[in-house]
């Protein structure tokens, strides 16, 4: 079994909180990541919400998304909680690593004018599919990848 399929540190104490035997979650997208417990991996990925991670269940790895463990994207205030949170909405995020469904809590400090949420998402590097009521966004990375693909391979948008 190669290192990418397992890690001898699975089942050890979590290095983030020292909870014994809980280090069973690992992000293989992060550089030099160590296995962590559920709470620590969610906390460590608050600014990397599009990573997938694997869970070691004593015989094999299973793929999970962070939103399945309760990660909510706090939008506004640079990722910190808003004192006047807006409604929670499910957002479809098209990322170079795949398509993710994430619950997002928008900032409620600014008046809810038409296009305000879209502009706020735009400033974060998430480009909305529409500006009236954004429910689907594209990351800057996937747009850059699409642009490069169209320039080099002449692939169409539907082919991408």
Q: Residue 130: which of 91, 98, 95, 100 has the closest Cα?
A: 91
> Across-strand partners of 54?
26, 63
| Residue 111 in this model has a pLDDT that exceeds 70 | no
pLDDT digits (tens, 9 = 90+) for 141-159: 999 999 999 999 988 888 8
- Domain with 12, as residue range(s), is 1-66
Last residue of a domain, one of 66, 97, 123: 66
The answer to the question of residue 142 being in a domain is: yes
Last residue of a domain, one of 10, 37, 66: 66
pLDDT digits (tens, 9 = 90+) for 77-104: 777 778 888 888 899 999 988 898 988 8
Query: Is there a single domain that holds both residue 10 and residue 52?
Result: yes
Query: Is there a single domain that holds both residue 95 and residue 51?
Result: no
């Amino acid at each position: 079994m190669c290192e990418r399929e397992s890690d001898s540190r699975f089942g050890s104490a979590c290095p983030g909180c020292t909870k014994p035997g809980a280090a069973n979650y690992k992000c293989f997208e992060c550089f030099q990541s160590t296995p962590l417990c559920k709470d620590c991996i969610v906390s460590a990925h608050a600014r990397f919400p599009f990573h997938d991670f694997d869970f070691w269940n004593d015989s094999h790895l299973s793929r999970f998304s962070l939103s399945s463990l309760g990660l909510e994207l706090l939008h506004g205030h640079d990722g910190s909680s808003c004192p006047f949170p807006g409604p929670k909405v499910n957002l479809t995020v098209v990322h170079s690593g795949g398509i993710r469904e994430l619950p997002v809590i928008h900032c409620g400090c600014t008046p809810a004018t038409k296009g305000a949420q879209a502009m706020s998402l735009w400033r974060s590097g998430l480009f909305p599919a529409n500006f009236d009521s954004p429910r689907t966004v594209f990351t800057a990375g996937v747009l850059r990848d699409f642009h490069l693909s169209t320039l080099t391979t002449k692939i169409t948008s539907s082919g991408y």
